[in-house]
Amino acid sequence: MLQEATTPEAEILSVIIVAFNTRELLRDCLTSIGAHRDSLLETIVVDNMSTDGSAQMVRANFPEVRLIENSENLGFSRATNQGLKEAKGKYFFLLNSDTVVRPCALTAMKDFLDGHPDAGGVACRLLNADGSIQASVSKRPGPMLLLFRFSRVSRLIKSDGARRFLRTYLGFLMGSTARSYLDPYTAVSTPIEVENISAACLMMRRQAVQEVGPFDEKFFMYLEDTDYCIRLRDAGWKLYYVPTGEIVHLVGRSSGGQMRDYSVHSYRSLFYFYQKHYSLMTLVVVRLLVFCTIVSRWLWSLICGRFSNPLHYRKNRLDLEQVMRLYFE
């Protein structure tokens, strides 16, 4: 059960960060949050048994932060639920530890929720380290969007200029999947409604979380945020992207360097997601698509390993073989 929000705690913004072996990044993140002295904040860090001294750093340098230390890595969903249970605020802000919050970002999202009672969640603009806009909101991920990402086409249109050009001049030729990938990043200053928000930066209304319930703990890591956004929308809440606030996100660092594009965690979550939200036929198609993709990458690693860096490609093949075995579970 969530704690009841009471005055003056009802005006608090609860920032919840799940951390795993990101000590220096977490330090920068907490420092950037601490600069928002104009907001009434509480910060909760849930440490998933880091071995790099992250918890000790928080205790020593940020005594005002509420620290929850786990004796094992519980995964993102379970750790997030721990933070939600302790949070006292009117709004809950889920934030990755590999982020730096720029001035006015928290205020932009909080003010938007204040002014839009139908909004269950909101995200601001995420930036890459080089200042380019990062993909952080999207359409509900059907098989076409999955193919869009597996084919690596999405990596070809990472730049802001390319997205704007494609959406402006070729958008009428694209399907809804491709347009949904491009739309949020062509908006200059206008909030837009979206279907899915990354939990790297997701501010939610307490009332919405109380209605929807905790994160699904069957997701260890990956797609738990997408699942939650679907549940929010099914409950009648709207989700928005507000491009006026900015947060720098160093993609992939919050997993402590342990997650790969083809990790067992990611694909187990992927199969569970499609089992939960789509038909059996769609699940079969997705599993077949994954299997074909993984086999092709395995063969590519085998060939490349003959000519360069055999140890690196052997590691790739071993990781890919784990995913292939997952296919038959």
At residue 120, does pLDDT exceed 90? yes
Task: Specify the pLDDT at position 267.
Answer: 87
Of the pLDDT bands very low, low, confident and very high (cuts 50, 70, 90), residue 8 is: very low
Task: Specify the pLDDT at position 138.
Answer: 75
Task: Specify the pLDDT at position 74.
Answer: 95
The structural domains of the chain, with segments of one domain joined by +, span 9-254, 264-327
**In the chain, % of residues over pLDDT 90:** 52
Task: Specify the pLDDT at position 7.
Answer: 44
Q: Return d(Cα 129, Cα 100) in angstroms, integer.
A: 10
**H-type alpha helices, the chain:** 23-34, 54-61, 75-86, 105-115, 143-150, 160-170, 176-182, 206-212, 224-234, 264-277, 280-305, 310-327
Q: Return d(Cα 90, Cα 11) in angstroms, integer.
A: 6
Calculate mean pLDDT across residues 9-33: 92
With beta carbons less than 8 A apart as the criterion, state whether 200 and 99 touch.
yes
At residue 164, does pLDDT exceed 70? no
Q: Are strands 137-138 and 196-197 parallel, antiparallel or unpaired?
A: antiparallel
Residue owning tokens 């009428």:
172
- Between 31 and 222, the more confident residue is 31
With beta carbons less than 8 A apart as the criterion, state whether 75 and 221 touch.
yes
With beta carbons less than 8 A apart as the criterion, state whether 96 and 53 touch.
no
Tell me yes or no: is domain 9-254 CATH 3.20.20.100.
no
Residue 138 — left, alpha, or beta (φ > 0 → left; ψ -120 to 50 → alpha)? beta
Task: Specify the pLDDT at position 258.
Answer: 41
Handedness of CA 77, 105, 158, 304 (dihedral sign): negative
- Between 89 and 151, the more confident residue is 89
**Strand partners of residue 124:** 242
Calculate mean pLDDT across residues 162-191: 60
Of the pLDDT bands very low, low, confident and very high (cuts 50, 70, 90), residue 18 is: very high
Task: Specify the pLDDT at position 293.
Answer: 85
Q: Return d(Cα 258, Cα 190) in angstroms, integer.
A: 37
At residue 177, does pLDDT exceed 80? no
How many Cα atoms within 13 Å fall on the side-chain side of residue 213? 7
- Between 220 and 36, the more confident residue is 220
Of the pLDDT bands very low, low, confident and very high (cuts 50, 70, 90), residue 148 is: low
- Between 2 and 26, the more confident residue is 26
| Whole-number average pLDDT of the chain | 84
- Between 207 and 174, the more confident residue is 207
Could you read off the pLDDT of 215-274 as tens digits, one per residue?
Answer: 999 999 889 999 999 999 999 999 999 988 899 998 755 544 443 455 788 889 989 999
Chain-centre distance of CA 196, in angstroms?
Answer: 10
Task: Specify the pLDDT at position 262.
Answer: 55
Calculate mean pLDDT across residues 72-87: 96
- Between 235 and 324, the more confident residue is 235
Task: Specify the pLDDT at position 134.
Answer: 82
Task: Specify the pLDDT at position 3.
Answer: 61
At residue 35, does pLDDT exceed 90? no
